[in-house]
Structure 1
Amino acid sequence: MRIPMVRLLLVGVLTCCAQSSWAGLQFQTEHYRVGIEIVADGLSHPWSIAFLPTGEQLVTERDGRLRLIQEGRLHPDPIAGVPQVAAVGQGGLLDIVLHPEFEQNRWVYLSYSDQTDEGLTTRVMRARFEDHALVDTELLFEALPRASGGRHFGGRMVFDSDGYLYLSVGDRGEMEKAQDGLDHAGSIIRLHDDGRIPEDNPFTGDSSVLDEIYTLGNRNPQGMALHPQTGEVWSNEHGPRGGDEVNRIQAGLNYGWPEVTHGINYSGSRITEHTELPGMESPLLDWTPSIAPSGMVFYTGDEFPSWRGQILNGALRDRLISRVSITELQGEYQLQEEERMLQGFAQRIRDIRQSPEGEIWLLTDQSPGQVVRLRPVTD
């Protein structure tokens, strides 16, 4: 069930006006006064972060470097063995996730854009992380056919509780691709951890849809997370001018783009007359006008108990965190945006994650960009 957006929202109040650095700043939310701590600075458009069981962090930089944060300090040397990436437009080195059994197998997964004479595409590879290097590299997936242009690579990944790997692939700026079952663009992909296609993927054996495809009609999902109770994959998705979405990702569904949308073209012209159609899944929530959602997380930690079970979405265009509550009744979900935070800091939020300790970490899509940690202020 889709719930209309709440338009009147609480805005975090800044206790300092500086925007060049967040160090030492605080902001007031509905429930907490929150302090900002800079963990690492000087990064080039950081895109994603993964928490190692040793307490260190791996961070991707979009121009093609993988960095290690060790004991709260950015290691001066990039990690060796990262594949060559095409840092074109919105492309480059994108997401990083750890294998669910990383402590035993050391597998790290990277998504990135790749370029050949045939065009650009989104790829996924894995490698073992050993001695500040990636070794035993394997290419697992390549979205086909390739396309020109540097837009909408998707690239967000998540492992579900059964060990399947999900990947978002954007429509590459060519909206009709999202309804073409023989094109990976505009879809969610589902794979085994070694890149094999699961036999129970919803379109396996259907000659009109590629076997790797799990859902269709997705414009450019930039956030993916697991629901903490059901284990289902949820995503947020960029609309055009309006029509950003939160979706519950379910096997074989068509999420409608561009046949249905709450957005319009950037020129102001209509894309479609329809905001819903039979056979196409409506979003659980939409943002109109757009906030350009990016990373997302279901918060489950102890640092901010009033936010448990809620979704925190980073935003690029509106440079904020959107806090969304969820009500579930007999399998139907109702979502409502409760608060917009950090609006005064003027930083594009590329990723938002929960650390193993229950802290909230952010990546700012700047150059230089920062890795930021949020903590409640108790004094």
Structure 2
Amino acid sequence: MRFASHPGSSTFASAALLLTTLLATAPSSASAADRYPTRNFEVEVTEIAAGLEHPWAVEVLPDGAYIVTERPGRLRIIRAGEVDKPIEGLPKLFVGGQGGLLDVALSPDFATSRKLYLTASIPGTGGQGTALFSASLDKDERKLENLTQLFAMNRFTRTGQHFGSRIAIASDGNLFFGIGERGKMDRAQDPNDHAGSILHITPDGHPAPGNPFAKNGKGLPEIWSKGHRNPQGIVIDRKDDTLYTVEHGARGGDEINAPKAGHNYGWPVISYGKHYSGAEIGVGQAAEGYDQPLYYWDPSIAPGAIEIYHGAMFPEWEGSFLIAALKYKLLARIEHTDDGAVENEERLFQGEYGRLRDVKVAPDGSILLLTDEDDGKLLRVTRAH
């Protein structure tokens, strides 16, 4: 529920009249913050920028500006509320269905190297599939240089869904990212198919050391874990380097997982959801050899991204999962305690801003949100004073 605080009617009457006059003559581009209650305190939501077409991912640049992807195939800088022209030099993309330009992640040494990573759906033999690229942003922020395809999934098809695919960079610099099963369920159980997997590669595109099939040849060497339907969120907790994902179920069965090397997370053998037809999925909710989720939703909230809160602005939320949700247009906060408990979901901003696609914690502890709409917005959540 949206609400605003108001001064007392007597003491502040003259000031209120003056403020009303000033607001009436202020430029229309000035946007006031919306104010919301939470369990612990009040927050304010401010629009940083609008006019983005289905934005998919945001990162904060070293100088405090933002870099944002738009799914139709644009990469932009937002600085001081102004959305710059698209950056040139992107790879050839497949744009359609859920595909296009997807995630962006900054290399840990971006401030000096200007290096970043992108995931996208690209055309190729047999149709389209998910790929991962590295590039350098030129000093004028106008184009990408040294664009390199580090990875492409091994089987392209003409389906337009379940491309994944966000990126998490581990403390050793290696990359984790997810790919959905591309709308073909059984692909998630095939260790010789990149679909339905969490992948783990080095910054130059080679299989990362420690991958479960890298030595035994019983699966593709880039694969970290299998049995994922469509993991569109991935994050590494910087407190203990634990990897977490959030992924879409069918009609129910969205999951938070902590993927481990060589483990199988069940899709489509087990699930807490049902097919869109109402039919049961697989053998039920559990079976030997398949890991259980840490947390699941039924009905589905359609999770688009996951973040873990570490920051100074909201110490009460320390360690909480933050999940951007598309279906119910909300931000879910779930407490994640030091003893591993995942519980006490709180739903924020439901229905207020549209489909929430990405969530990031900024360096100052504020929270950034992207709305996946024709007129998409970049929003900032801060503590109300």
Q: With the length of structure 2 as denominator, give the TM-score of the two structures.
A: 0.90
Deviations 1:227-285 (A, max 9, x none): 23211110111100010000112111111111110010011111123211121110000
1:64 counterpart residue number: 73
Please list, as runs of the form range in 1=range in 2, the aligned pairs for 1:47-196 lying within 5 A after superposition. Answer: 47-75=56-84, 77-130=85-138, 131-132=140-141, 133-196=143-206
Residue 118 of structure 1, CA deviation: 1.3
The farther-off stretch of 296-305 and 58-67 is 296-305
Residue 23 of structure 1, CA deviation: 5.1
1:358 counterpart residue number: 365
Amino acid paired to 1:31: N
2:11 counterpart residue number: none
Is structure 2 residue 348 aligned with structure 1 residue 341?
Answer: yes
1:278 counterpart residue number: 288
Residue 328 of structure 1, CA deviation: 4.0
| Secondary structure, counterpart of 2:323 in structure 1 | strand
Residue 25 of structure 1, CA deviation: 1.9
Is structure 2 residue 24 aligned with structure 1 residue 15?
Answer: no
Please list, as runs of the form range in 1=range in 2, the aligned pairs for 1:240-279 lying within 5 A after superposition. Answer: 240-279=250-289
Distance in 1 of aligned mates of 2:369 and 2:209? 37
Residue 87 of structure 1, CA deviation: 1.1
Q: With the length of structure 1 as denominator, give the TM-score of the two structures.
A: 0.92
Contact 1:125 1:138 in 2 (8 A): yes
| Secondary structure, counterpart of 1:336 in structure 2 | strand
Distance in 2 of aligned mates of 1:327 and 1:372? 27
| Secondary structure, counterpart of 2:221 in structure 1 | coil
Amino acid paired to 2:43: V
Distance in 2 of aligned mates of 1:152 and 1:305? 35
Distance in 1 of aligned mates of 2:240 and 2:263? 18
Question: Quick check: which has more Rg, 1 or 2?
Answer: 2
Residue 226 of structure 1, CA deviation: 1.4
Q: Which segments of 5 or more consecutive residues in structure 2 lack a partner in the other structure? A: 5-29
Equivalent residue for 2:247, pick from 237, 241, 244 = 237
2:9 counterpart residue number: none
Distance in 2 of aligned mates of 1:148 and 1:337? 40
The farther-off stretch of 139-148 and 115-124 is 115-124
Contact 1:322 1:337 in 2 (8 A): no
Amino acid paired to 1:104: T
Alpha carbons of structure 1 residues 346 and 78: separation in structure 2 relative to 1, 3 Å: closer
Amino acid paired to 2:68: V
After the TM superposition, which parts of structure 1 deviate over 6 Å for at least 4 consecutive aligned residues?
none
1:41 counterpart residue number: 50
Distance in 1 of aligned mates of 2:247 and 2:332? 14
1:6 counterpart residue number: none
Give the count of matched residue pairs: 358
Deviations 1:197-231 (A, max 9, x none): 12321111333310000000011111111123211
Alpha carbons of structure 1 residues 54 and 24: separation in structure 2 relative to 1, 3 Å: closer
Once superposed, what is the RMSD of the aligned Cα atoms?
A: 1.5
